[in-house]
Structure 1
């Protein structure tokens, strides 16, 4: 049984959904709980995108404005729901875990801020748990700590902690104490292994470079050098979701939307033409930018003679394609004259003939 709970702090971003999907696939998650989705409506296509297939069921609670929102997804081949209870601050799902034939109650919590509302939530959940005959799995954002050492960046409230501890005790819940310790150990071991591996391959590269300088390196040395460089690049590579976020920011700047969105995209010329001080690219003239793009077609015309479109232009406007024609009337304009860009460039007819 693999369950994953995340406070996503908004689930509208495509890259964040991809990141969650990668976590589910990597850890073979059977049950996913998302808090603070900030979504009023749930899109089935979006859920399928996150889960990766159609073998899922879900329960959700809409957000209130830009706060709250819960989405629960699970593999319907291993868990069969029998009842769903939705509240503004929690979602409860009762059902059977098929592989072990046991009853399970899943509780997803996004706790309120104020103490009176927390007391109401704790009492309601305690009542539900006391009347349930089976396993209980509670997860989510409880917005509370049990000890002062767990509170960072804000003051520790003794009364709220006591009430939270009472709720855990009365509901006979057990906190997974070893989970955070296991994560810390894993991070420390991963960091230690990465540093050790990096030192080994840097030393290996250094010794191979000495052989190359001395002229004694063989084919095996070059192969080992390529392998070491590849491993070092992988060690220094940022996580996929960070790369996706950077790509999303770049796309938002240039075309005003994410490439994964199903909408037509346009180049954001205002940002391209704005000065660098104003956050733009500092391109002074949209005409100057377009000239560079349009001249690619003239270059293709000169270089790719066998192409069909070039043959069509030459059949209408002659061997030169009408590039240097001087228009006398509107009907005689060649496609190049219609673009109106050649008159601004220092291309001589003689040079063109020589190129041909």
Structure 2
């Protein structure tokens, strides 16, 4: 399954829309997860324009006070929507892959820097997953959390990330999730001058998902 996940930092500009449409087309995307849309509403025509096709299903979470907005989209010839759960920091879409006749859950994730919000999100996602019988799970997006100290470089503040690291790793381990390999650049976020960088965007999958797509990356 080909999934595009992208912290777009505002969906209003035409350049970003064209860039996203180019990625979707070039990669043959079947599902798209966007974070930080920074818009209150999304129209059908906007989703069709972003994908370059009108056979698109979508769900939008507008966020709070202009922040935390997310958009999940899927091509209806590749993914059949069944139901969803949505809340602060996530859109969980349940459905089936057409070509594999396989039920799965794709969760679009975005959480701000506040550790309290991160812990709340981890708990809620854990509860959602534990209450489901589905085994093919993919959680992707901007988790805004690191797993080890070397995943954040150049930060000028003296924040102790011990609690974040311990909590995030526990969330991953407790839910039997695997961190898919990153190819290309090691870090997923850079500040404007490149002096600070971190790995905060990632894709977490279950063992069953990784077993189905062995070259998952």
- Is TM > 0.5 for Structure 1 vs Structure 2? yes
List per-residue Cα deviations over 1:106-145 (Å, max 9, x = no partner). Answer: 1111113222221111011011112222200000100101
Number of the residue aligned with 1:10: 10
Give 1 or 2: higher strand fraction.
Answer: 2
Higher relative contact order (CA 8 A, sep 6+): 2
Number of the residue aligned with 1:71: 71
Following TM superposition, by how much is the alpha carbon of 1:94 offset from its aligned partner in structure 2, in angstroms? 0.6
Number of the residue aligned with 2:192: none
Supply the distance in 1 between the matched residues of 2:99 and 2:173 (Cα, whole angstroms). 29
Supply the distance in 1 between the matched residues of 2:111 and 2:154 (Cα, whole angstroms). 19
Instruction: Spell out the pairing of 1:156-305 with structure 2 (5 A cutoff).
Output: 157-177=161-181, 180=182, 182-184=183-185
SS in 2 for 1:137: strand
Contact kept in structure 1, 2:78 and 2:97, CA below 8 Å = yes
Distance 1:26 1:127, change over 3 A: same
Supply the distance in 2 between the matched residues of 1:71 and 1:32 (Cα, whole angstroms). 8
Contact kept in structure 2, 1:40 and 1:65, CA below 8 Å = no
List per-residue Cα deviations over 1:17-72 (Å, max 9, x = no partner). Answer: 10000000011011000000001010221111111111110011013233110001
Number of the residue aligned with 2:127: 127
Contact kept in structure 2, 1:60 and 1:86, CA below 8 Å = no
| Range 136-145 or range 93-102, more displaced | 93-102
Contact kept in structure 2, 1:89 and 1:109, CA below 8 Å = yes
- After TM superposition, what 4+ stretches of structure 1 lie above 4 angstroms from structure 2? none
Number of the residue aligned with 1:289: none
Give 1 or 2: higher helix fraction.
Answer: 1
5+ residue gaps, structure 2: 187-217
Aligned length: 182
CA RMSD, aligned part only?
A: 1.5
Please report the TM-score for the alignment, with normalisation by the length of structure 1. Answer: 0.49
Supply the distance in 2 between the matched residues of 1:65 and 1:111 (Cα, whole angstroms). 14
5+ residue gaps, structure 1: 186-356
Supply the distance in 2 between the matched residues of 1:76 and 1:34 (Cα, whole angstroms). 18
Supply the distance in 2 between the matched residues of 1:166 and 1:150 (Cα, whole angstroms). 17
Contact kept in structure 1, 2:41 and 2:60, CA below 8 Å = no
